[in-house]
Amino acid sequence: MIDEVAEVRAAARSLAEEWLATGGRGRADNWARGLDPAFSKSLAAHGLIGLTWPREYGGRGLGNVARLAVTEELLRVGAPTGAHWVGDRQIGPSLIRHGTERQRAEFLPAIIAGEVVFALGMSEPGAGSDLAAVTTRATPVAGGFRVSGRKVWTSNAHRATHLYLLARTDTGERKHEGLSEFLIDMDSPGVQVSPIRDLAGEHHFNEVLLEGVVVPEDRLLGVRGRGWQQVVGQLAFERGGPERVLSTYPLLAELLSAGLSLSPAEQDRLGELIARLAALRHLAGGVAKALDGGEAPTREAAGLKHLGTAFETDLAEFVRDAYAATGRAPSPLVWDALLSSPGFGIRGGAAEVLLSLIARQEARA
């Protein structure tokens, strides 16, 4: 297994370096905002997407530790991985757990080939931290469902081929009941995407309006009404990866190679950051091993996300201060990182919500 991990790490590193050598420009947070279908296809051609999936669907049947090695290498250089990230990280595993054979056969090989791009349609104006409050409705009609509602903060929806959607199909006694998951073609009539500009003025988020969108029955993912139980499984994959630690890592590499002279106090801060990074990598390894062991490490993933996103922001602020102390203008990477950092502790679960989740699980343990 160690050999397989080393082999895929070396393959990812070599592709990442080739990408840099041929003009690629690493950015902070580029796993989420940078979308380059050609780069994703080159990873696909080397078998680096769908690493953990069964061979019968074109996967490599490797463990999450191997996937961790690949994702670390891509994050290390700030490569643009948004075209395949969501499909590889959580839609594929969700299809493997809950999809029909037909859905698996349609989507898994296409994700592995870098041919489909998924956006996540979870959040709504009144349902973010309280995700179970979604009001988007999927009403049963002959042959499928008619969907109406509004999703917000949908990253990369303007470049996606498909939308994962959490919607309400039934009314239950509790808001967590009656939710269902769907896979929707972005070019379906009635899907309207409008940009929401972020702090940097970039178009990364969207509002997605769904007006009477007809979704065939075979695009229901899993069991009708079990959407909450299913989506919770997705969140462990969404929170437990190294992208919650390494979004600003390219700054550290750049700082170390820029030869800035650091004061003793700054050297102490840098030492502390590097020690935190080592501890976070250890935690990420633990989450990957737990997933490989068939566990659902919800609490560990939440803890990694909470501590990791604090690290990402602290690192960006440290590098900003280090440049300021020398009077040298910071590189564009620093601006990228600072402007995207307010979102780190919110997306994928706000800090307070994760801490409550950890505390609740701790109390139950």
Ligand X SMILES: Cc1cc2nc3c(=O)[nH]c(=O)nc-3n(C[C@H](O)[C@H](O)[C@H](O)COP(=O)(O)OP(=O)(O)OC[C@H]3O[C@@H](n4cnc5c(N)ncnc54)[C@H](O)[C@@H]3O)c2cc1C
Closest approach, Cβ 48 to ligand X, in A, equals 23
Q: Which residue is nearest to ligand X (CB)?
A: 128
**Cβ 69 to ligand X, closest distance in Å?**
25
User: Which is nearer to ligand X, 153 or 323 (by Cβ)?
Assistant: 153
Q: How far is the CB of 18 from ligand X (least distance, A)?
A: 28
Query: How many residues belong to the chain?
Result: 365
Positions in 342-361 near ligand X (CB under 6 A): 343, 346-347, 350, 352-353, 356
Is 203 or 269 the residue whose CB approaches ligand X more closely? 203
Q: Is 136 in the site for ligand X (CB under 6 A)?
A: no
Catalytic site residue from 124, 181, 238, 312: 238
Among 30, 103, 154, 313, binds ligand X (CB under 6 A): 154
Q: Minimal distance in Å, beta carbon 262 to ligand X?
A: 30
Give, as ranges, the residues between 94 and 133 that touch ligand X (CB under 6 A).
120-123, 128-129
CB 92 within 8 Å of CB 42: no
Q: Select 77 or 120, whichever has its Cβ closest to ligand X.
A: 120
Shortest Å, Cβ 260 to ligand X: 29
Per the annotation, the verdict on 238 as an active-site residue is yes
Site for ligand X, residues 309 to 348, rule: CB under 6 A: 343, 346-347
Tell me whether residue 263 or residue 356 sits nearer to ligand X (CB atom). Answer: 356
Residue 154: CB minimum distance to ligand X, A: 5
Nearer to ligand X by Cβ, of 44 and 120: the residue is: 120
C-beta closer to ligand X: residue 8 or 111? 111
Residues 211 and 194: their CA atoms lie apart, in Å, by 14
Catalytic residues: 238
Q: Which residues bind ligand X (CB under 6 A)?
A: 120-123, 128-129, 153-155, 343, 346-347, 350, 352-353, 356
